[in-house]
Structure 1
């Protein structure tokens, strides 16, 4: 029987590759719409998705031709060769993607088994203060079944009890809590016994604090620590004075060792779960967990190592003395502000000290607060440019100072912007007594009704507008509803001002505008996550991550471009502005960005506290540091009292002058 006259069922197997090639064609066409994405093969070498279209289309057409059987033998051989070649190319791409998986930001904590060696007998010696030391090994012996020795099959029970940490807290109790806190972090994350992996460490933190606070001296504290941690760390030893640790002999039946390996910070944060207990101990537990988490796993430890270590005792005291939910939240924010990570802004689950808003927004210059926008139906004497003097009897300068003490920021611009956003917040919906001075110098006092929703800082000005003939302004911190039509307008522009004072609202910049500003592929900043198997950030290994790339798309814009930025621009906004800075894609006008880039990890703590923190290291394109430095402007503009009172946008004005001078 000739091949052309085979029964249809004999050729039905070709329907499967036709379906597969069809799906691959559609997928390739979809991927071609996105100018950003990971490179496929060799690190920095870019592989555009469009390159796949030819082999995928050839595979689809060859499969269809073989299924239809409309061609002679020689042509069928050609189609088979084309089909095999297409399959080989696609297989090579898939292999490249598989090879690249190790550069993707997938992470987790795992116990890694290792062979017995001289290193496996090493000890960690931790100074806990009060003449106390914790001595333990980060390597735990295991038997043939992989169980840690000495084996404890029962999950440790955590007795919470009703007794709380006493208040006011004594100096001895405070020193006890500091010692416990330091030991807790080491044994939770670097002592991988079977019992430790199943223990409820968040409940242990609360129970341990209440127990250790009772110790009257260092010797009693040593005994309490040894007894408390024995179920989860039977080989750990707490020593006092000049005691020397006894050698840790390997138990009978030892077949190897295990150690903790923590790859990245995100899985660690996800494994922290809120627990409930006595009020003060529960709140203090959130401090203990947070301090250890950032101490052992922050990718920027060298930046704040000394102040962070000294912050533990001070923060434990302030949280222990907090009498209300508001006091607790303020104390916790003051604690985390020391870390100087702009991603951090703790929130309380059951309390929002700024759940309502005064009916105006402000801008700050020289430490003074000036009205920027006013809600409708308010006191007509309150107008933009008025200086706020006090709110409910508290001076504006004190209000700014209190907010600034809670902002975890790395530069003055970010602190000021945080104060501007938080200043109008009110805890209740009751009327607020506000005093202000008008631009004419008249002092006014009035009772204002707070809003349920805060005013937007930028108002309702047009997101896309032609400021002057041929000079366009676009605010990318608000969603771009019609990106293609917007690009058609910008194609005719002689100059474009891009406002990125804040966070980009959507993908307009990287998907539509920036591909029209470049001649070749541009990569984002180098990013990495730490791999930790020892405490105190020793022996870290950095895992470099794949860097997304933006590729040219369409005819390059001829317009001159200026980007507006300030301390509110952080995280992904800094990724985009770093591209502008490194590749000289336009002028940068305003103030330095926040200097906190890299994916943020989420954490929910006991006491109802939650926050984000930076779990990834970002560097500049040249490999130098970025944290707390940020993207620096080519033209620096800081708001002035005169400019604010006159209602001027001085950053925008400077951008206009800069573009006009070119």
Structure 2
């Protein structure tokens, strides 16, 4: 034992001496260095393919690229790249895939000036470039190639470019890419293809067709799963407007998600990987919808829960055995709070929105008839078989036992909300509100129609502008700082009679998007007290996209900043009078936020 201790002491002395020989800076670097995950060659090769895929699909305006089916190409491309065993085979596969659809591309293991481009314009040539934009009212991006009137320059949005401008030069792993984003075109045919490239295009199309004629199009197929990552990742990489607000290693998410797709085997696993990837963007609008049969609806247990005092507490119930204030412990034998936290991890957005959505999704199902719940009340456990028999009309519902849409809850104090399509403020209602002592406006959720705008128009003597709605102009790839924005804000004109009483707005994390547009106006123009909790922190029109295998996803395609230019995304609207629910208040079936609003009006 004594000799063993001597050996240990000797090793320790040698270790310390070695550390002393290393420069201090080097020691600090070694200790503080973040260890990047190691991926195999196949994942790295697929990452290279994915990056090039995005550049060619969205920024190279050749006729071939405009006409290819990019979903089919992605699936086949994954399969082809997986066959590459070394760098030489990878380069050959990349050229087989991309050169036929981008004849002027250069892919090389060494940095070279693109040899496939000539600055000399052919006779009668014009310039062609991709223009991606979205209408303020549309769910989709529109992508079209636009043409100049001559070969000298081309206008894209409000910028002028010449042939050779904006060429994409990138080193991706060991592959050097050079790709023009502006081409010459004669008689609406892009210049650059050759007899060889046309022959290779025919061969590529035949290979894709042959592969797709006998392949599994479901998410049991790894190629389809990885193609979903590649398409989604590139969509965000080039068009998501909030990377400045959410500083993350999005490039690092690509190999991580590809590897994750290799580890799962089915549709449910695919869905989990996609949600985990998107959760990094902290966008409350992001949602992936699985292969849903439109004839099969989503149903929810007709109760609501909320994360209160570190417990899942019932806020509303139409299940007779369950009451507000009950603590949800188990759902079909699983720990409800643990399941709730797992759902939060897969939800994109602010903490408050994650809690909101996780509480909703915990109690929703598409194929289960009922669930076994265990709740706690006054120290007693109650087991209930609760049906999935409530069909939500919105992704948020059943948060509170609300008052009627329009009611006088105390003499001279009116309560209104805008969650019913039938709630239209007529002249009689406006007349009553204009003489009221106080008005409580419930924006805890998603209002419908133009009624909120009508109400706000009677609170002011001047025009009310919304926050800044900024439409991205993606000229340059990789969410470049050089990309500009178009302002698309709108206004509300004042109307008579003006409401003179004190106005209090109720809000919380269930207020998202349009709700936050309304609350942003309230906040900026100080139209009333704001009682409750922070809003979701996600605003801007939604974009949708369909993926191979039947999945569909949504995300925020419009950037919104507050009136003063400060950040709204992942922040939201904060209450002027914060009020949180308590278990005691919920048990007593009290709406503590509404109570505070009444108190403020009476004090006034």
TM over 0.5: yes
**Aligned 8 A contact 1:480 1:506 in 2:** no
Q: Is the 8 A contact 1:206 1:277 kept in 2?
A: no
The answer to whether 1:213 aligns with 2:151 is no
Q: CA deviation at 1:267?
A: 8.7
| 1:258 equivalent in alignment to 2:128 | yes
Alignment of 1:81-230 (within 5 A): 171-230=40-99
Per the TM alignment, residue 519 of structure 1 is displaced from its structure 2 partner at its CA by 0.8
2:430 — aligned with what? 487
1:270–1:434 Cα change, 3 Å = farther
Any conservation in 1 of the 2:538–2:569 contact (CA below 8 Å)?
yes
Alignment pair present for 1:298 and 2:237:
no
Contact 2:509–2:536 at 8 Å: present in 1 too? yes
SS at structure 2 position matched to 1:608: coil
CA distance, structure 2, for counterparts of residue 251 and residue 497 of structure 1: 67
The answer for the alignment partner of 1:289 in structure 2 is: 231
Alpha-carbon spacing, 1:205–1:373, altered in 2? closer, same or farther (3 Å): same
2:209 paired residue number: none
Q: Deviations over 1:430-470 (max 9, x none)?
A: 442222211x1012334333325357333464222222211
The 1:643/1:218 distance shift into structure 2, 3 A limit, reads farther
Corresponding residue to 1:394 among 334, 341, 348? 334
Note if contact 2:437-2:601 (Cα within 8 Å) is conserved in structure 1: no
The match for 1:145 is: none
Q: Distance in 2 between matches of 1:388 and 1:621?
A: 41
TM-fit CA distance, 1:565: 1.0
Question: 2-side partners of 1:297 and 1:653: how far apart?
Answer: 44
**Shift of residue 657, structure 1, vs aligned partner:** 2.4
Aligned pair 1:434/2:398, yes or no?
no
**CA displacement at 1:644 relative to structure 2:** 2.8
Structure-1 separation of matches of 2:302 and 2:570:
33
Please identify the structure whose Cα radius of gyration is greater. 1
* Gaps in structure 1 of 5+ consecutive residues: 1-168
Asked if residue 345 in structure 1 is aligned to residue 287 in structure 2, the reply is: yes
Q: Give the drift of 1:268.
A: 6.6
Residues 177 and 541 of structure 1: is their aligned pair in 2 closer, same or farther, counting only changes over 3 Å?
A: closer
- What is the alpha-carbon distance in structure 2 between the residues aligned to residue 508 and residue 249 of structure 1? 57
Quote the Cα distance in structure 2 between the aligned partners of 1:460 and 1:523.
30
- In structure 2, the residue corresponding to 1:483 is in which secondary structure? coil
Distance 2:574 2:82 in 1: 48
- The answer on whether the counterparts of 2:130 and 2:143 sit within 8 Å (CA) in structure 1 is no
Q: What TM-score do you get using the length of structure 1 for normalisation?
A: 0.68
Which of 580, 584, 591 in structure 2 is aligned with 1:638? 580
CA gap 1:606/1:367 in 2 versus in 1, 3 angstroms: farther
Is the Cα–Cα contact under 8 Å of residues 370 and 387 in structure 1 kept in the other structure? Answer: yes
Distance in 2 between the 1:174 and 1:648 partners? 55
Q: Distance in 2 between matches of 1:542 and 1:271?
A: 17
1:560: Cα distance to partner?
0.3
- Answering whether residue 450 of structure 2 is matched by residue 507 of structure 1, we say yes
Structure 2 partner of 1:423: 362
Report the secondary structure of 1:435's partner residue: strand
Normalization by structure 2: what TM-score? 0.75
Cα shift at 1:188: 0.8
Deviations 1:51-108 (A, max 9, x none): xxxxxxxxxxxxxxxxxxxxxxxxxxxxxxxxxxxxxxxxxxxxxxxxxxxxxxxxxx
After TM superposition, give the deviation of residue 183 of structure 1 in Å: 1.0
Deviation at 1:209, TM superposition (A): 0.9
Counterparts of residues 188-587 of structure 1 (less than 5 Å): 188-240=57-109, 243-245=111-113, 247-250=115-118, 254=122, 255=125, 257-264=127-134, 269=141, 277=217, 279-350=221-292, 355-376=298-319, 378=320, 380=321, 382-409=322-349, 411-438=350-377, 440-451=378-389, 453=391, 456-459=398-401, 461-484=403-426, 485-511=428-454, 513-538=455-480, 540-587=482-529
CA distance in 1, matches of 2:93, 2:410: 74
Deviation for aligned residue 1:492: 3.0
Residues 483 and 249 from structure 1, CA distance in 2 versus in 1: closer, same or farther, beyond 3 angstroms?
A: closer
Q: Deviations over 1:536-576 (max 9, x none)?
A: 12363434334322111112111100111111212121111
What SS does the corresponding residue of 1:528 show, helix, strand or coil?
A: strand
Residue 528 of structure 2 corresponds to residue 591 of structure 1: no
Q: CA deviation at 1:177?
A: 1.7
1:473 shift after superposition: 0.9
1:383 is paired with a residue whose SS is coil
Counterparts of 2:252 and 2:297, CA distance in 1: 30
What runs of 5+ residues in structure 2 fail to find an aligned partner?
Answer: 1-37, 145-211
User: SS of the residue aligned with 1:304?
Assistant: coil
Cα distance, 1:609 vs structure 2 = 1.5
Distance 2:542 2:560 in 1: 12
CA displacement at 1:617 relative to structure 2: 1.6
What is the CA–CA distance in structure 2 between the aligned matches of 1:467 and 1:295, rounded to whole Å?
50
Counterpart contact for 2:309–2:583, Cα < 8 Å: yes
CA contact (8 A) 1:363 1:420 kept: yes
Q: 1:357 to 1:597 in 2, by over 3 A?
A: closer
CA RMSD, aligned part only? Answer: 2.7
The 1-side partners of 2:461 and 2:281 are apart by 40
The structural deviation recorded for 1:638 is 2.5
| CA gap 1:351/1:369 in 2 versus in 1, 3 angstroms | farther
Alpha carbons 1:259, 1:533 under 8 Å: kept = no
Q: Specify the alignment match of 1:114 in structure 2.
A: none
For residue 370 of structure 1, report the CA deviation from its aligned partner.
1.5
Measure, in 1, the Cα distance between the counterparts of 2:519 and 2:140: 30
- Offset, 1:427: 4.3
Structure 2 counterpart SS, 1:563: strand
Distance 1:331 1:388 in 2: 28
Q: CA deviation at 1:224?
A: 0.8
* DSSP-derived class of the 2:246 partner: helix
Aligned-residue offset at 1:253: 5.7
Distance 1:282 1:365, change over 3 A: same
1:211–1:268 Cα change, 3 Å: farther
Name the SS of the counterpart of 1:627 in structure 2: coil
| Corresponding residue pairs, total | 485
Describe the SS at the equivalent of 2:249.
Answer: helix
Q: Where does 1:22-101 land on structure 2 (aligned, <5 Å)?
A: none
